[in-house]
Structure formats: C-alpha cells, structure tokens
C-alpha cells in the first residue's frame, strides 16, 4: 500500500478514515484472502455482535467537495461513499511511493532476540493483558501501530507457511499462541520451537514479550483467524493492483457526463 491522493472533480464524496492504530478493531481479512486489503466490517451497518471491538473504533469523517484533494497516508483504512448516488461523480486518484515492506523485513531480521518466556503477556499476565489488547504501549503512536500491523501480516504469512499453506491451520496455530497454549506444548516439538522463535524475534522488534502477547490477542480476537469470521466471496472480484482497469465504455460515459455538466454551468 502506498500514499494515496484523490482529487475530487465532480460531485461530493463522504469519506470515513481510520488510522493504523484502529486496524484490529476493524477486523481485516486474513493474509492471502482475495480481499486482504479490506476489513470485514460494514461501517454503514455495524454488526457489533459479530465484531464487538468495532464499537471501540474511532475514525475521522469529512466530505470531499469539487476542487478539494484528499491525501491519505499509507495503511489508513478508508470508506468512501458518493453523496448523491444519481448524480455524476468523478475523481482522479494517484498513488505515490513504495510499500515499505523491504525495510520492515530488514528491521525485523536485525531485531535483538529476547529469551523466550513461554506465554508471557498472555491472558492475565503482564502489560497488555487488558480486555482491549490495543491498550498496550506497542500500539501507542503512529509508527508503533504500523509496526504492529506489519508484524501481524508477517505472522499470518509465516504461520500459514509452516502449516503447509493452510490458512485455517495457520489461524488455529496463532489463536493457540494468543491463548498461551504454546507454554504447555512439548518443548522439543516443531510447533513449540517455532512458536518460541516467533515470540523471541517479535519481542526484540516490538520491545517486550508482553507486547507480543497483546498483538497476538488483537489479531486473533473473536475468532478472526480461527474458525474465521470472513464471509464467502461470491461473483467476480475487481482488483486494480493486478492490472484491472475501468472499461472504456464506462470512461467514455464519465467524460460525456463531465462535458455535459461543464456546458450546463459554463
């Protein structure tokens, strides 16, 4: 994800923004899902029974008027809604910069290791054991929140890989770690050794084993990864990151509407 600029040309748009610190209160789709850049929640019809932490999410709302430009830093969640569905609406969007994944990987690989402490920071133990894991200092400022978001996605990818590419098993593995179950696993088992390695490397990067526990609880809360909260995807999926573009007929109609409106107001 890169920095994003949206220049509103015609019409008005309502924009709802959430910072990276709100990520796990919005329940992102798991890594590898066809919509893994999106959240599972519907902010227009919030289902707090299914997504309880959504009630704690805090965002910023604005209306983008013609001639205004929205700058959206990378990794900010955003919901955009056309204010007048039946009226023409046109905006020009620009993406700037790189995703920053390479620098994150280098920092993680060079992080000092911490002696594994089993399930330290798990439920009932150490800082970050509050009902809301995001109260842990590791989630505090913008840079820390980004670090946690990056780390969670790397954790999911690593767990899926070690579980044979099965995201269901990977989610179960991380959910068990979040509950502190790995403290009772046989120490020389592959699962226990891999869990200890993940905890140690992440503790060196996040600052403490307690923060690792808080991150695990946040990213697995309410069964997000296991058994899984995502609804099945039906119908075609459009993903601009893979080269999909707006059809020529749609573009032609948009520009015709633009010229007609400009002529009516000119």
The helix or strand, by DSSP H or E, that contains position 47, with its residue range, turns out to be none
pLDDT at 115 over 60: no
Burial (0-12, 13-18, 19+ Cβ within 10 Å), 229: middle
Which range, of 36-45, 116-125, 162-171, 219-228, averages the lowest pLDDT? 116-125
pLDDT confidence band for 121 (50 / 70 / 90): very low
Least confident of 27-41, 62-76, 95-109, 220-234: 95-109
- pLDDT at 138 (0 to 100): 75
Q: What is the DSSP letter of 233?
A: P
Alpha helices in the chain (DSSP H): 101-109, 142-162, 167-178, 190-206, 209-220, 248-265
Q: How far apart are CA 219 and CA 150, in angstroms?
A: 11
Instruction: Examine the pLDDT at 242 and tell me if it is beyond 50.
Output: yes
User: Is residue 16 helix, strand or coil?
Assistant: strand
Compute CA distances 118 → 146, 174, 180, 256, 265, whole Å: 25, 14, 7, 64, 68
Query: Are 6 and 96 contacting, i.e. CB atoms less than 8 angstroms apart?
Result: no
Provide the pLDDT for residue 59.
92
pLDDT in tens, 178-223: 999 999 999 999 999 999 999 998 998 888 899 999 999 999 999 9
Looking at the whole model, is its pTM more than 0.75?
A: yes
Give every CB contact of residue 79 below 8 A, 6+ residues apart in sequence.
15, 16, 43
* DSSP designation for 83: S
Residue bearing the bigger pLDDT, 172 or 96: 172
Q: What does the alpha-carbon distance between residue 202 and residue 131 come to, in Å, rounded to a whole number?
A: 22
What is the pLDDT averaged over residues 231-238? 70
Mean pLDDT of the 237-241 span:
58
Q: Can you list the domains of the chain with their CATH numbers?
A: 3-99 (2.60.120.650), 101-228 (no CATH)
Of 146, 27, 7, the C-alpha closest to 75 is: 146
- How far apart CA 222 and CA 27 sit, in angstroms, is 9
Task: For residue 252, give Cα distances in angstroms to 68, 156, 238.
Answer: 23, 42, 19
What does the alpha-carbon distance between residue 209 and residue 215 come to, in Å, rounded to a whole number? 10
């Amino acid at each position: 994800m890169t920095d994003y600029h949206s220049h509103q040309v015609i019409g008005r748009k309502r924009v709802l923004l959430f910072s990276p610190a709100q990520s796990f209160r919005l329940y992102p789709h798991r890594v590898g899902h066809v919509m893994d850049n999106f959240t599972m929640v519907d902010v227009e019809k919030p289902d707090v029974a299914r997504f309880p932490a959504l009630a704690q999410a805090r965002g910023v709302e604005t209306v983008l008027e013609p001639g205004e430009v929205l700058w959206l830093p990378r990794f900010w969640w955003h919901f955009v809604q056309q204010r007048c569905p039946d009226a023409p609406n046109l905006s020009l969007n620009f993406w700037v910069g790189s995703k920053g994944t390479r620098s994150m990987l280098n920092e993680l690989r060079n992080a000092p290791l911490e002696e594994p402490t089993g399930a330290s920071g798990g439920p009932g133990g150490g800082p970050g054991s509050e009902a809301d894991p995001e109260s842990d200092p590791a989630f505090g400022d913008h840079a820390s929140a980004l670090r946690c978001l990056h780390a969670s996605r790397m954790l999911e990818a690593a767990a899926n890989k070690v579980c044979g590419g099965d995201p269901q098993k990977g989610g179960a593995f991380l959910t068990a770690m979040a509950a502190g179950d790995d403290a009772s696993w046989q120490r020389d088992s592959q699962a226990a050794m891999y869990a200890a390695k993940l905890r140690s490397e992440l503790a060196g990067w996040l600052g403490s084993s307690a923060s690792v526990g808080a991150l695990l609880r946040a990213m697995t809360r309410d069964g997000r990864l296991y058994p899984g909260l995502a609804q099945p995807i039906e119908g075609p999926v459009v993903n601009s990151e893979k080269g999909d573009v707006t059809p020529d007929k749609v573009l032609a109609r948009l520009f015709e509407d633009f010229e007609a409106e400009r002529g009516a107001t000119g």
